[in-house]
Amino acid sequence: MEIAPLPPLRVAILGAGSWGTALAAAASRRHATRLWARDAAQAADMAATHENARYLPGIPLPQALSISSDLDATLRSLQDEGAQRLIVLGVPVAGLTALCGELSRRLPALGLQDTPIVWTCKGFEADTARLPHEIMREALPGATGGALSGPSFAREVAQGLPVALTVASDSAALRAATTAAFHGAALRVYASTDLVGVEVGGALKNVIAVACGICEGLGLGTNARAALITRGLAEMTRFGVALGAQAETFAGLTGLGDLVLTATGELSRNRRVGLEIGAGRKLADILASGITAEGVRCARAALERARAIGVELPITDAVCAVLFDGVAPMTAVSALLARDARYESAAGLPDDPPDGRTH
């Protein structure tokens, strides 16, 4: 018996930063893919040179990849009755509301309102403390959405080096379309239904990575970094579960995996900001030099949301104190070290406190 071939897949990736470009390169090796850049000059240069000189210099892009600054034309490229469709939002959290607003007006007019939409941004929105799926739900009610996340540096993905990602959604169709778009060769895609857990892990790991960079910049050693990573994972898990996530998600790619990469990798911008802070530079000077880090953008929003639901985030609190309140890095570290002794796990604890006191 012959097996019917899968329908062709058309992919539109909106956002030509490093990560959007890397994913576009991966998808275009097997599927009709168009990459949209808001900057017309950047799009023209990329189309002419097949290189993203601004974000991924020196890495050639596949000749099959189509690049445009025309959003309507990019969306129209999905109009094929016999094809599957997928829209990938490759913009940061700060740009998600505006882009979703544009899609809410354009997709129905083009007959594309049922197209699955997957986003790649990580963090809490600075002004509202919303996670990406909450932004999407309000801006595009009824849309089929999900997150693509995991331990990944865009440059390595663009170079074709091995990477494993997770797509999280309650929609089997979206998970299948995202897997079809990207799974293959050196890129593996795993599926999850825990959208909240995947998003919280992606957001908090950036903040913990800033803390690890500060620790490294202060010269506190690898023991201290290991402690921060481990307790940071506990912090991420505690917060995520309080928001409705599954605890086991944080032991996977989008929790522990992404945290280890971002806290230790040489390409990590969040770690780099922490290193500079630990070495004595001011945050304003670091950001003015061109380094951007989602951990800086979302730390205060994450802390505010955690406080609103009664969850302690001591490492995130310390990072915010250093970044925004003028607290010296070593003072913040000392405050963390001065916290009361406690049991490592909340499961099956005896009644007596670990330090023998009765408080």
Asked whether 190 and 298 are in contact (CB, 8 A), the reply is no
Average confidence (pLDDT) over 206-221: 97
Average confidence (pLDDT) over 273-302: 93
Average confidence (pLDDT) over 249-264: 98
Cα separation values, 156 from 88, 112, 263, 321, Å:
19, 32, 17, 33
- Give the residue with greater pLDDT, 303 vs 358: 303
Q: What does the DSSP 8-state code read for residue 344?
A: S
What is the three-class DSSP state of 329? Answer: helix
Asked whether 269 and 262 are in contact (CB, 8 A), the reply is no
Class of domain 198-337: mainly alpha
Per the annotation, the verdict on 282 as an active-site residue is no
| pLDDT computed for residue 83 by the predictor | 87
Q: Is 17 annotated as a binding residue?
A: yes
Reported as a single tens digit per residue, the pLDDT across 305-331 is 999 999 999 999 999 999 999 999 999
pTM of structure: 0.93
| pLDDT computed for residue 347 by the predictor | 59
Q: Is 269 annotated as a binding residue?
A: yes
Burial 199-223 (b: 16+ CB within 10 A, else e): bbbbbbbbbbbbbbbbbbbbebeee
Place of tokens 């808001």: 38
Strand partners, 85: 10
Nearest to 133 by CA among 5, 245, 280: 245
Question: Which one of the listed residues 34, 133, 175, 205 is annotated catalytic?
Answer: 205
Average pLDDT, the chain: 93
Reported as a single tens digit per residue, the pLDDT across 271-286 is 999 999 999 999 999 9
Quote the CA–CA distance of 243 and 274 in Å, as a whole number. Answer: 27
Q: Which two tokens stand for residue 52?
A: 């993203």
Q: What residue segments make up the domains of the chain, in order of their start?
A: 9-193, 198-337
Q: Is 36 annotated as a binding residue?
A: no
To the nearest whole percent, how much of the chain has pLDDT over 90? 87
| pLDDT computed for residue 5 by the predictor | 53
Task: State the architecture of 9-193 in CATH terms.
Answer: 3-Layer(aba) Sandwich (3.40)
Quote the CA–CA distance of 295 and 56 in Å, as a whole number. Answer: 21
Reported as a single tens digit per residue, the pLDDT across 101-157 is 999 999 999 999 999 999 999 999 999 999 999 999 999 999 999 999 999 999 999
Average confidence (pLDDT) over 196-223: 97
**pLDDT category, 358, cuts 50, 70, 90?**
very low
| pLDDT computed for residue 200 by the predictor | 98
Q: Is 122 annotated as a binding residue?
A: yes
Q: Is the pLDDT of residue 2 over 70?
A: no
- Letter for the amino acid at 104? S
| pLDDT computed for residue 352 by the predictor | 53
Q: Is the pLDDT of residue 1 over 60?
A: no
| pLDDT computed for residue 341 by the predictor | 74
| 160 torsion bin: left (phi>0), alpha (psi -120 to 50), beta (else) | left
| pLDDT computed for residue 4 by the predictor | 47
Reported as a single tens digit per residue, the pLDDT across 218-253 is 999 999 999 999 999 999 999 999 999 999 999 999
Nearest to 88 by CA among 157, 23, 39, 25: 23
212 CB-side CA count, 13 A: 31
